[in-house]
Each structure stands twice: as structure tokens, then as C-alpha cells.
């Protein structure tokens, strides 16, 4: 049993070392994945600082580290500048995709906000037109509850004051506003 285990370990070492001739791909990957190099890479990426890449012994991993740091810098610049073109400069595909997707999401969100602002502006203009018309029933066509209440209050109060009759105040749905209207008419 011990002999079989020893042969297995020896066989593994020979495969990893390439049987004594040049380094095998497996041996290179093991060197590539040195714990010290991996730690330096982790710290460099976390701190977004290429000076930690210099501590990496393996040349291929050092280049990879510097590329990751460079890509991160481009990523943050692209987001700050809101530049999809800048995202395309990123070499790491995952980060490039994330950058592009994030900018797309921001644009979509900005479009939604713009649409909401435009709808609210249109509703405010509609409310003003209804007030000018003086038809309190048209206030019910407003979708924003605060505009509906404001419309009812302004029209009812205006009509009640002009006619000297608080019955117009009864058309106001909101109780506290109705009382304010009645109080204004009684003066």
C-alpha cells in the first residue's frame, strides 16, 4: 500500500514537473497560481493600485494584474464620463460587458425619469387650464391626487368667494380643505 502511494506521488510529481525536461503546462499553472502572487493580485485589484502588481513574481500574472488595474481605471472613467466608447477600451470581457450594461441601465433610468417629469409637467398644465375654465368636475380627470385636491380647492374657493356662497366648498372631496374653503368664505 505504501509503495502504491509512493508511486502515485512520484508519478504526480513527474507529470507536474514534466518528467525532468522543460516545465509542463500543469507545472506552469501551479507556478502561476502561487499563493503569494494570488494575494498580491487580490490586494492590487481590491485597492486598484498597480504597485502591488510589482510584487508578483510570475511575469504572466504580473501582466494580468496590471491589465486588471488598467481595466478598472478605464471602467470608472467610462462610468464617470458616461461613455460607452470608453467601455470598449476595457480588455477584460466581463468588466467590459458590466460597464456597457451599467451605462445602458443608467440611460434607461434617466429616460424613465424624463418621461415621468414630462407627464407631471403636462398634468400641471392641465390643472392650470381646468382652473381657468372654472369647471370643478374636470378636476376629477387629473391623475395626481395632490393636483386634483389643489384644483378643487382653488376653483371652489374662487367660486364661493365670488358668489359669497359656501355651497361651492361642498364639492371639495378632502375634508380639511373643504373646511378651509368654508372658513375663507365666512371670512
Dihedral angle of Cα 173, 177, 181, 184, to the nearest 10 degrees: 170
Measured CA to CA in angstroms, residue 6 lies from 16, 42, 117, 145 at distances of 15, 36, 75, 82
Q: What's the whole-number mean pLDDT along residues 28-37? A: 63
Phi/psi for 91 (5° steps) reads -85, -35
**Residue 101 covered by a domain:** no
Does pLDDT of 1 surpass 50?
no
Does pLDDT of 181 surpass 60?
yes
**Residue 11 covered by a domain:** no
- Among 27-31, 44-48, 103-107, top mean pLDDT goes to 103-107
What share of the chain has pLDDT > 90, as a percent?
47
The answer to whether 123 and 103 are in contact (CB under 8 A) is no
Q: At what angle do helices 59-81 and 35-47 cross, to 10 degrees?
A: 10
Distance CA 181, CA 187 (A): 10
Q: Find the domain containing 35 and state its range.
A: 24-91
Q: Does residue 139 share a domain with residue 70?
A: no
Q: Does residue 182 share a domain with residue 119?
A: yes
Kindly report whether the global pTM for this prediction surpasses the value 0.85. Answer: no
Does pLDDT of 3 surpass 90?
no
Domain count of the chain? 2
pLDDT band for position 33 (cuts 50, 70, 90): low
Q: What is the pLDDT of residue 182?
A: 85
**Which residues, 6 or more positions from 143, have their beta carbon under 8 angstroms from its beta carbon?**
123
Q: Does residue 176 share a domain with residue 136?
A: yes
Quick: pLDDT tens for 50-102. Answer: 888 888 888 888 898 999 999 999 999 999 999 999 999 999 999 999 999 99
**Residue 5 covered by a domain:** no
Amino acid at each position: 500500500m505504501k509503495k502504491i502511494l509512493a508511486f502515485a506521488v512520484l508519478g504526480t510529481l513527474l507529470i507536474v514537473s514534466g518528467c525532468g525536461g522543460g516545465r509542463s503546462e500543469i507545472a506552469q499553472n501551479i507556478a502561476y497560481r502561487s499563493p503569494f502572487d494570488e494575494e498580491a493580485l487580490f490586494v492590487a485589484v481590491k485597492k486598484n493600485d498597480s504597485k502591488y502588481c510589482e510584487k508578483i513574481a510570475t511575469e504572466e500574472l504580473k501582466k494580468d494584474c496590471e491589465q486588471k488595474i488598467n481595466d478598472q481605471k478605464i471602467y470608472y472613467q467610462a462610468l464617470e464620463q458616461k461613455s460607452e466608447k470608453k467601455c470598449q477600451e476595457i480588455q477584460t470581457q466581463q468588466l467590459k460587458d458590466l460597464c456597457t450594461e451599467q451605462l445602458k441601465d443608467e440611460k434607461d433610468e434617466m429616460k424613465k425619469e424624463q418621461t415621468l417629469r414630462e407627464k407631471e409637467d403636462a398634468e400641471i398644465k392641465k390643472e392650470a387650464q381646468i382652473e381657468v375654465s372654472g369647471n370643478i368636475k374636470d378636476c376629477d380627470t387629473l391623475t395626481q391626487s395632490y393636483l386634483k385636491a389643489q384644483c378643487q380647492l382653488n376653483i371652489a374657493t374662487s367660486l364661493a368667494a365670488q358668489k359669497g356662497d359656501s355651497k361651492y366648498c361642498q364639492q371639495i372631496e378632502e375634508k380639511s380643505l373643504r373646511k378651509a374653503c368654508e372658513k375663507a368664505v365666512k371670512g
